[in-house]
Structure formats: structure tokens, C-alpha cells
Structure 1
Amino acid sequence: MNSLTRIKLSFMMFLEFFIWGAWFVTLGTFLFNNLNATELETASVFSTQSFGAIIAPFIIGLIADKYFNAERILGVLHLIGAVLMYQMYSATNVGDFYPYVLAYMIAYMPTLALVNSVSFRQMRNPEKEFSVIRVWGTIGWIVAGLSISYIFHWDSAAGIGEGLLRNTFMMAGIASLVLGVYSFMLPKTPPVKSQDKSSSISEILGLDAIKLLQNKNFLIFFIASILICIPLAFYYQNANPFLSDIGLENPTGKMTIGQISEALFLLLLPVFFTRFGFKKTILIGMLAWTLRYVLFAYGNAGELSFMLIIGIALHGICYDFFFVSGQIYTDARAGEKYKSSAQGLVTLATYGVGMLIGFWVAGYISEYYRAADVENFWQSVWLVPAGIAAVVALLFIIFFRDEKETTANATDKPYGAETERQELTSLP
């Protein structure tokens, strides 16, 4: 890959995740303070991400992989996204806001796979070249968060009071417009010609790999993956509103510590895999969820603010040690025949079904405690996902049998392009 192509792809990744980080992190705070949304209305809005994740494989499998250049579809979707972002910026109530955010998520979620396609098709050695480009996506997310807190101060107490969080949608919309136009300047990425012109719905959604669930270990892992998405949904839906509500300064900027942590622990993951094996590594990830929410439950914005910072920093262990480890385990378990289908099945189950359940559970729990007018509202909320993660970890310990062969297969595989390909279709 020449230097110009590398720069183009890096800027593409930067914008792709800058757009997401520019509005999604503060969405819960915006809904509550600007649109007076209830907890269940907030859950409904966040659930649009899951609907987008469920629909995305159809757009990629039935359209992008067969008929049009990936970079052109990427451009069109982001231009549509720019228009929808302006509509979200202009909405004055949840009823007006919801159809636009639903349409936006349906348009945006497929772009996570499209930027992968554009990138990998330009690479001769993805294992060495891809990480250098993908890291710019994480940088984009971090820059968006830091800009909101430290440059524009939209998430400060004064900014929230003046309704300045609405500007995050305008910022994301402008970035989406830029990426939409810029996408047509990216290297041409036509559909891959294949002798097999037909792909069944079951292949596109990964349902061909459902036979893997006959293996007890994989079934336990599969169920655990869905259940652990409930604590994950609590974080995405409630973390920023929580930090803002208790008065932590620059909450969005401080939340970028989680993305920095994610990048660092991604580098350490192969070491843990080699030394401890799959079961212990994934258990560390589960227990980190429990610890994180206990820290949130008992920390505060004053003398115990270090507990909140540690909880945010645990994001790298929470995400990498469970979800990325799970992708490696799935790859090792599936074999050549079901590699793509198995990853598609797990992605559909987690970011589609699991997160959908999680957002609604988070919404119902928060709604219940608000209606009950409990004295320590946030403490009560955070102890629920902490308990769920602890129960999932306990069940995993009891029912998952540590197979030396599986661990060996997983750790023998090069930790490179295949893992990164799957990681890119996930939450940053």
C-alpha cells in the first residue's frame, strides 16, 4: 500500500468513528435534559442501534457484496446520514426524534462493515497494515469526546442547561457530510466476482453456523455472550447521564479514557490468552463488568471520583477480554466451513438481540427506581448490572469446561487481520 492510500484510509477511519463518538456518547444525557424523555423512551431510542445491527447484514450481503462499489455505498449512506443528523438536531420532542434516529442507525451500522471492505481490499498484508489504519478510528472517537468536553464545553452544567448538547448532532452531521463526499475519492472497491451469485438469508445472517450450538461449550459461551450484553447496554445508555447528573466535570472527555484503555488492552490480550487460556481470560472480562459497576455505585464526583475513573478505565478489560476473546474462540471453534457464518451469528445475537434486550432492561430498571423515588437512585441502578454480570460469570464457571485443545487452537492462530475484521463491526 502506498502512502497516499494509507492516508486516505486512515482519514476515512477517523471520520467514521468521530461521527459515532460525536453524538452517541451524550445521547442519553441529551434525551433526558433536552427532550424530557422518560427512561423507557430513552431505551426505545437506544434500541435503534440493535435494529440497525440486525438489518445491516441484509444491506451488506444483498446489495454491497453483489452490485455496487463499497466506497460508493459508503458515500451515499453518509450523505443520507448527514440529512438525518440535521433532522435529529432540529427535533423538539422524542416523537419527532425517534424516526430519524431509527433511519440513521439503519444507514450507519452497515458503514462499519463497508469501511472494513474498502480497507482490506487495498492491503497486501492486512496483519501488518490494518492496525495502523484502524487505530485512527479510535483516535477519531477520542477526539470527538475531548472536543465536546474541553473545546466546546457542551456537556458542562451550564452547557447542558442551555441545551448546547444539541450541537453534537450538527457536528456529527457536518462530519458525515464530509465523509459522504470524501468517500467518492477513496480507492475503487467493486464487488468481488464470484461463481456463486446466490447467498441465502441464512448465510447472510450467520444462521448456517447454528449447528455449532450442538456443542455444549459453544452453547454456554453463546448464551453468556447474549446475557453479558445487558450490562454493556447499561453502560452505553446510562454512563454519560450518570456522570453528568452527579456533577463530574467534563464527563464526555473523561469517558474517552475507556477507548484509550481498549486500545492498550487489545495489545495485551494475546499475552493473557497464551498464559491463562480462553476460560480464565473471558472470566476476567466478566468480573471486570461487576467491579466496574460496583465502583460506579459507590463512587462520587468528590473525594471518591477516582473510583469513577477506574470504572471508566476498566472498559478495555470489559470489552476486549470478553468480546474480542469471544471472537477468537468462535473463529477457533467454527472451522473453515463456518468461520464467517459463526461470526455473523454471534454478532447478530450480541449487538442485535443481546443489546436490544439490554437497552430495554436498563430502561425498565431505571424507570422503576425513578417511580419508586429511591434515595440512592444511581447506586440502585448500577448494582443491577453488577449482579447480572456476577451471575453470568458464576454460571460460566460452573458449566463451561476448559478445553486445552480449544485454547491451544485459539492461541496458535495469528492475532491479526481476522480478529480485527470482526472487531470493527462492534462498538468501539
Structure 2
Amino acid sequence: MLELLQQKLQSLFKNLRGYGKLSEENISEAIREIRLALLASDVHIQVVKEICEEVKQKSLGTKVLESIRPGDQFIKIFHDELIQYLEADKNGLSADRPLRILLCGLNGSGKTTTAAKLALWCKKNRERVGLVAADLTRPAAIAQLSKLASQVGAPVYSPQEAEKLDDFLLRVARESVQDRLSVVIYDTAGRLDLDEGLLEELHRIYELVSPQEVLIVIDSATGQKGVDVVAAFRKKIPLTGLILSKFDGDARGGAAFSVKKVTGVPILFMGTGEKIESLEVFRPDRLVDRLFGFGDIVSLVEKVEAQVKEESIAEIEKKIRSKQFGLDDFLVQLRILKKLGPLEQVLSYLPAFPGKGQLTIDDKKLKRIEAIVLSMTPEERKNPDIINGKRKLRISKGSGTTVTEINEFLKRFDAVRKMIKKFSSKEGFKLPFFKN
């Protein structure tokens, strides 16, 4: 996510921190680098000009504090300016209940998947959620939504054979009230490109449903083109918010900085992975902190807490204190880590540190480690010290790995276990990410 802009900015900040003082000359040089970095990230030209002008004026007009390095002060000005560009008066869904949410967007933007993700997010917030298959043009849309809804555990309202759109939506309105739903999400039709037929149909659905929220789903990779798509939809219906899908796969991220400022539509959520749980509330300050290499530990803690039951953590902590931490417990920790998503994505939440950019994270290696542990007997997992050469040969055959890989893993596990034992005796010990 935003790797290109992140790399360019952090390279620039490294040079800025070496400034002994801020002058018009080095400020202009820094602004030029910022402009190039933003343009390379496909940020809208109008937004680039405004950001650069604001940062330049504020930098030239700011008195340099003696207690702060001049370069750091410039970085702080730029940091605050980006947050300001992303912030909006609206930062959440309407409090009205029952809440009707109309999702719109082009085909390929991830709209149907986002509908299911949003349904799960609502369910986690103790809402009774239903999904409506209002995309009557794409044959596979209803089947796709039904399959995703089964993962979420939400009911799906589908049109009956030869049922007209108006009759279908009126039936949904009646049945959703009878089913006492607090949130109803409508997945509408998309097209490969903007056309009048799509927009007219969407306007008709909007009039029939009268939704409190109209959210447009935009593929993050569209960059500046996303601005044109949002503007076209906004002419037909009043958009109340925006969801950036596939945000984890976009190295540039220009859409995030362009759409809100140019169109005025606030970003409310962003899709951060393929899993149904991968939907985050959009928080500008946290995004900019990650972009600047400051990390986002709060969001990482929330991801962990959403995936892990505290009682399982408490059980592992108990075993660590009693110095009984074995490979079964390691396996639990490994599976917790896998639930958080790709390790490269998890790493992006951590603050920058020397050598972080050179770290290579191999998710396939985690699967091989899991296979090694699962190929062991319960006795071997409890006491790895009994694993001799004959046992290693059996484990390698069962896991599809080599004896060398097993030796390397056991050596590293032994080092980790010794470190855990050392720290477990300290007062107030807790596993990472969980508060005392």
C-alpha cells in the first residue's frame, strides 16, 4: 500500500533531517521533490499544486523552534497538511435505524465483495444485517453475493423469476421490516464503463429505496480516473461516502489523496485484503502516519483483538510463566499471525527502523513451518529436545521439507523459547499487542 510514495518521502525526509536551517532555497528543493513524489503516485494535479503551495507558505512563514530540528519541523508541516486534505466532516455511517445503504460503482471495483465485507463489519458492531442482490444485469452477481453472504452469516434477498425491479425492491422493504433488520445493504449493477443506462437505473433504485447512505466503491488503482467516475455518479445521485477497495494492492495510492479533495465525497472505509474481514474504517491520521514511517500500532492492536480471543492469549501467557511453552503453543501463535493477513501488510503497521526496507517476508515459509510442527507427535511438540535424527527424517517426509529446514527451525525455536523464559519472569509480562 502506497509503497512508491512511502519510499520517495522517506528518502526525502532522510535528507531534510540533515538541514541545519530552513531557507527558501532548501524549502523550494524539498517542495520540488514532494511534487514529483505525489505526481508519480498518480495524485491529481490540482491536489498536488494546492498541497505544495500550502506547505511552502506555511514553511516560509513558520518560526523555527530552537528545540526542534528544522527538517523535522518541515516534515511536521507536510504531515499535518496531508491529514487536513484527507479529513472530512463526516467520518462514519448514519445513526438512523433501520439504515439503508446503497452501494454503487463500476464492474471490477470489488463492489459485491465490499458489500459482504461491510455486512460483516456491521455484524461485528451488533447490527442485524441483510444483503440485497439488486444487480440484475450480471448473471453471476446474485450467486456471488449469496456465496459471500453465507460466509458472513447474513440473509440475502434475491429477485424471483420475471420479477420487476420495482416489485422486488418493494418486497425487500416489507420483508426486511418483518425480519427486524437494522441495516440493509443494496448491491447494485455496475458496468465496464460509465453509460447513461447504468446511471438512470441507479437513480431509479435510489428513488425507490430512499437510502440514508449512498456509498460508491472505487478501485484504489484507478488513481486520477477515480475522480471522473465519482463525479459522474454524483451528478445522478447524492453520494454520502466512498469506499476505496483493493487498497492493499495499490503501490501508488493517488486515489486516496485525489477523490475526496476534488469531489468533496468523504472516504469512509478501505479494503485492505482479499479476506472477508479485510475492511478498515478510514482514519486519515493513521494512514499518513504509516506513510511517513511513524507506524500505526493502534490499528495493528485492533486487528489482533478482532481476530484473537483474549482467553487463548491468557492461556499462553500462563504457560510461558510456568516455562511450559511448547510447539503446540507456538502453533497457536503462528495461526494468530496468519489470521492478520500477509506479513508484508502487518509489517507496514510498524514504525520505520534501520533495515526494515531490506526485510523479506515469506508467507510460504510459514506454511512450511506449520507443516513441520503438524508432522510431529504430541510428545515431540511438548518436548522438542527428544527429536533425534531418526525422528527428523520421519518429520521431513511427513511435512515435505528437508532435515536442514527442520534443524534450522528447531534452533530458532529454542532461541525464542530461551528469550521468552528470560522475559516471562519480569513483573507485568504480557504478550505483544495486549494491554496490561
Return the TM-score normalized by structure 1.
0.23
Q: Return the index of the structure with the highest Cα Rg.
A: 2
Which one has the bigger helix percentage? 1
Which one has the bigger strand percentage? 2
Return the TM-score normalized by structure 2.
0.22
